[in-house]
Amino acid sequence: MKQNLFSISVNRSLMIALVAMLAMGACKSKKKAAQPAPAPAPVEQVEQPAPTPAPVSSAEEVAAEKLENYFNSVTAAGNASMANQTIQEALAMFSNKETPVLIVIHEENGIKDYDEPTTISKYLDYLKDTKKNLNYISDIRLDANGKVSELELRRK
């Protein structure tokens, strides 16, 4: 009986110890959850200079970009009516239909040789017929109203 009593008390004390350890472990985790997390170390922020603003396009650059788009649209038009509509939109950017278009074919020591001068109306019709835009705008001049008064092209 003594042995039985001893084994029961050992079993009982082991069970109590186990329950106590679990209770303590649970309390610790509750305490950890209740405590706020330590604040992270402050991160040093490096001040970067403000990005430089995009350069403002001049009226000539905007007009040249629009005209390049019109030229490409005329050459890519699926039919003549679409090309004619694009040509009419492009002509609205010019002071008149007879605005000169000069095509540089050679330049040496600052002296330019031009192809036969043409007008914007003829040049746009040429683009419509050939469906090839072999030139890019190298110089554009605007009048006081912001309309194109002269156009200089070069081979791509």
The pLDDT, as a whole number, for residue 116 is: 93
Between CA 101 and CA 124 the distance in angstroms is: 10
| H-helix or E-strand spanning residue 78 | none
What is the CATH code for 59-155? 3.10.450
Between CA 92 and CA 63 the distance in angstroms is: 12
pTM of the model: 0.64
- Does residue 12 have a pLDDT over 60? yes
Q: Where are the domains of the chain?
A: 59-155
